[in-house]
Copies of this chain bind each other. A is one copy, B any other.
C-alpha cells in the first residue's frame, strides 16, 4: 500500500497553467456548416452577410391593382380617373410589380365597372403600397456578426438573405472515461460493493450547458494497460478528455502516471474544498482532466476548470452570475483551501438570504438542492452569519424570489406539499431543509426562513410547541398553525426479533439516534429521563442521522436494531413499528410572510383533499379537521 501526497496549488494558478498551455498549443474552435433552418442556439464562427435582397424584387404590399402612377395624376373625389383594362393588373400581396407599373392601389379604393374598368378617386405616388427590393434586407448587409447565438429570428434572416447554411463553431467533443473496479452502470438493484456510476451523466449534462458535446466510454477497470488504451482512443476521437478518476489514491496515481506517459501533468491537487484531488494535464493539445470521484468535488472542478476550457475553445470570456445575499448561518473554513459552500437562496423580509447546505462531497443531493455557491477565500477562517456575501447563482434568481423557505423538523409530508405546490403550475416552489425543530426556531429568529416545522414536547405540560413559541417569540412576531398529528415510535426489524415492547427496552439492542436539536431527539431524551436510562447504556446513542428515512435505512441494513421515527418511514422500509406517542407536527410562520402568496398557498394545500389523500397513503398521520 502506497500513498502519494498531492500538491495544493491555488485554484487560479492551477487554472492559469492549463489554460496558458492550451492557448500556446492552439487549442481552439473548429467550424462547421449547418443548415440555417436548424441552427438555433449555435454560435456563428464568422460574420454572415446577405447574399440576396429581401424582398428580392419589388412586391405588392397589398391586394389591389398595380398601376403606373403617372396614369393616376389628378385623380380626386370629384375628378375620378378611369383606367382601362390594359392600364392595370390585379395583384395580391407579395406579387411582383408588373413591368411598367410603379404603384399599387388598394382593392378597397377601386370601383370596378361592369366592363372591367377601374375607377380610382385619388392619385398614386410612385412606389405606393410597394415593398421595394431590399426593404427588409439588402444584399451585402451584415445579418449576424461572429460569435453570436443564432436565434429563431436570425435563422429566418439568414434564409431570407439567401444563406442556406450557417458557419458555426463546432461544439467541442469531450470524451468521458469512468474508471474503477467497483463502478457499475446505473441499475435498479446494485449488489453490495457496486457503486453506481452516475457522475458521467452529471458531467454530460453540465458539458451540454457549457456548449460542449460528450461521449461516455465504457467503464475501465483499475488496470493500467486498460486505462492507457482508453485514453489513447479518447485523445484520437475527442477534443478533450475527462477521466473520472475515482477517489482512491491508488487509482489517482494510475491516472496521473498514464497521462504523464502520453503527455504531461501540470497539477495534481488543487487547494479547493471540495475538489482537491483533481489532475490537470494534456496530451498534445487535448486537455485531459482527472476528476475526483466524489460528485460534489467533481462538479466544482467541472465549474472551475472544465467550463473555462470550453470557454477558451469558444474564445469567449468566462462569466458567472452573482447576487448579494445575507449569510444565514456561520461557515467555518480551512486556511488550507478555497472552499465552495453550497447554499439555498430565498427572499426573507425582502432580502436575499443564503443558507449553507450540510452534506459532504459525496452528497449529490447537496447540489440538487443548491441555488448557489458561496466561495470562501483561502485566507479566511470562515464568515459570520449575517454578513453580506456574494453568491454565484446555480439556478435562476426568480426561483429564489418565489421560494417558500421551510426549515426545521423532517417529515415526508413537506415534500408532498412541495409537489402539490409545483403541480399548481405557478412560479412558487418550496425549499426545505432538515435542521430539526430547534433549528426551525433559530432560523425564524435570524430571519432565514419563512416557516418552521416543529414538534417540540414541553416536558412540564406534556403539550406540543405552544410554550416554545411563547418562550422564543415573546413579541408575537410569528403565528403558530396547527399542522398534522403523527405517531412516533420505535422502528425495529420485521418480526421484532428482540421482542421490544416499549421505549424502556432500547438498551436491549443497538440504537440509531437523531441529531441534537431535532424534535425526535428531544423526545428521545425526554423518554430516557422518564425511564431513567443513562446515555452510556444506549449503544449507538452517538450515532446520529438527520432524517426518519436515514434511521430506517440504517436499521434495515443492520447498522442498529432500533431507532425512533414515524410510521411512514417504517412502512417504506418494511420495518415493524412500536408506537410510543402521538405528536403534533406544527408550523411556526413569520408574521411578515404570513400574507404572502407562498404561505397562503401552503395553508390552502394543508387543507386540501389532495393532501389528505396523500398523507393517508403515507400512513400514520391524521389531520385536525
Q: Which residues of B contact A189 (CB under 8 A)?
A: 52, 162
Query: In the complex the two chains form, is B186's CB within 8 Å of A159's CB?
Result: yes
Q: Which of A317, A425, A573 has the most CB of B within 10 A?
A: A425
Report A491 CB to chain B, min CB distance, Å: 13
Residue of B whose beta carbon sits closest to that of A125: B542
Asked whether any CB of chain B lies closer than 8 Å to the CB of A444, the reply is no
CB neighbours of A195 from chain B (8 A): 55, 59, 94
Q: How many angstroms from the CA of A142 to the CA of B198 in the assembled complex? A: 18
* A133 engages B557 (CB within 8 Å): yes
Residue A531 interfacial (CB < 8 Å)? no
A390 within 8 Å of B (CB atoms): no
- Among the 9-residue stretches A243-251, A331-339, A461-469, A499-507, the one with 4 or more Cβ atoms under 8 Å from chain B is A243-251
Cβ–Cβ contact A134 & B554, under 8 A: yes
A205, B152: Cβ atoms under 8 Å? yes
Q: Which one, B140, B250, B314, contacts A412 given CB within 8 A?
A: B140
Nearest B residue to A56 via CB reads B190
Please determine whether B132 and A572 come into contact, CB atoms closer than 8 angstroms.
Answer: no
* CB <8 Å contact, B367 and A153: yes
Of all chain B residues, the one with the shortest Cβ separation from A141 is B549
The reply on A605 being an interface residue by CB < 8 A is no
- Are B205 and A93 touching (Cβ within 8 A)? no
What 0/1 pattern do residues 190 to 207 of A give for CB contact below 8 A with B?
A: 101101101101111110
Q: Which residues of B contact A61 (CB under 8 A)?
A: 362
> Please, what's the 1-or-0 string for A328-353, where 1 marks a CB less than 8 Å from any CB in chain B?
00000000000000000000000000
Contact A569 B156, beta carbon cutoff 8 Å? no
Binds B, one of A7-15, A143-151, A471-479, A519-527: A143-151
Q: How many copies does the complex hold?
A: 2
- The reply to whether B205 and A155 contact each other, CB–CB distance below 8 Å, is yes
Question: Would A364 and B157 count as touching, CB distance under 8 A?
Answer: yes
The complex places the Cα of A142 from the Cα of B368 at a distance, in Å, of 12
Could you give, for residues 310-331 of chain A, a 1 whenever the CB lies within 8 Å of some chain B CB and a 0 otherwise? 0000111101000000000000
**Are A93 and B540 touching (Cβ within 8 A)?**
no
Any chain B CB within 8 A of the CB of A57?
yes
Q: How far is the CB of A281 from chain B (nearest CB, A)?
A: 22
**Once bound together, how far apart are the Cα atoms of A316 and B402, in whole Å?**
14
Q: In the complex, which range does the number of interface residues on chain A fall in? A: 35 or more
Q: Within the assembled complex, what's the spacing in Å between the Cα atoms of A143 and B38?
A: 34
Q: Is the CB of A247 within 8 A of B186?
A: no
A153, B418: Cβ atoms under 8 Å? no
- In the assembled complex, the CB of A422 is this many whole angstroms from the nearest CB of chain B, namely 4
Residues of B within 8 Å of A154, CB to CB, are 368
- The reply on A423 being an interface residue by CB < 8 A is yes
CA distance A365 to B160 in the complex (A): 10
Contact among B164, B187, B427 with A186 in the assembled complex (CB-CB below 8 Å): B164
Near B by CB (< 8 A), chain A positions 83-102 give 90, 92-96
Q: How far is the CA of A6 from the CA of B96 in the complex (A)?
A: 25
A108 at the A/B interface (Cβ < 8 Å)?
A: yes
Contacts A202-B152, A368-B151, A425-B317 known; A126 to B186 CB distance under 8 Å? no
Q: Contact at A196–B54, with CB atoms within 8 Å? A: yes
- Docked pose: A209 CA to B152 CA in angstroms: 9
Q: Check: A559 CB closer than 8 A to any chain B CB.
A: yes
* Bound-complex Cα distance A319 to B151 (A): 20
Contact of A246 among B52, B94, B143 (CB under 8 A): B94
In the complex, which residue of chain B has the Cβ closest to the Cβ of A148?
Answer: B422
Q: Write out the residue numbers on chain B whose beta carbons fall within 8 Å of the beta carbon of A126.
A: 540, 542-543
Proximity string of chain A (102-137) to chain B, C-beta cutoff 8 Å, 1 when within and 0 when not: 000001100010000000000001110001111111
With beta carbons under 8 angstroms apart, the residue of B426, B549, B554 that contacts A132 is B554
Q: Is A182's CB under 8 angstroms from B94's CB? A: yes
Query: Are A423 and B192 interface neighbours, CB within 8 A?
Result: no
Q: Provide a sorted-by-A list of 18 A–B residue pairs whose CB atoms are within 8 angstroms.
A: A1-B112, A40-B208, A93-B247, A96-B192, A133-B559, A135-B362, A136-B363, A138-B549, A140-B572, A142-B416, A146-B422, A146-B423, A153-B364, A160-B198, A162-B188, A315-B425, A317-B426, A319-B427
Extra contacts besides A40-B208, A148-B422 (12): CB < 8 Å: A36-B186, A52-B188, A127-B543, A138-B549, A138-B550, A143-B365, A148-B429, A152-B203, A153-B367, A156-B364, A164-B186, A317-B425
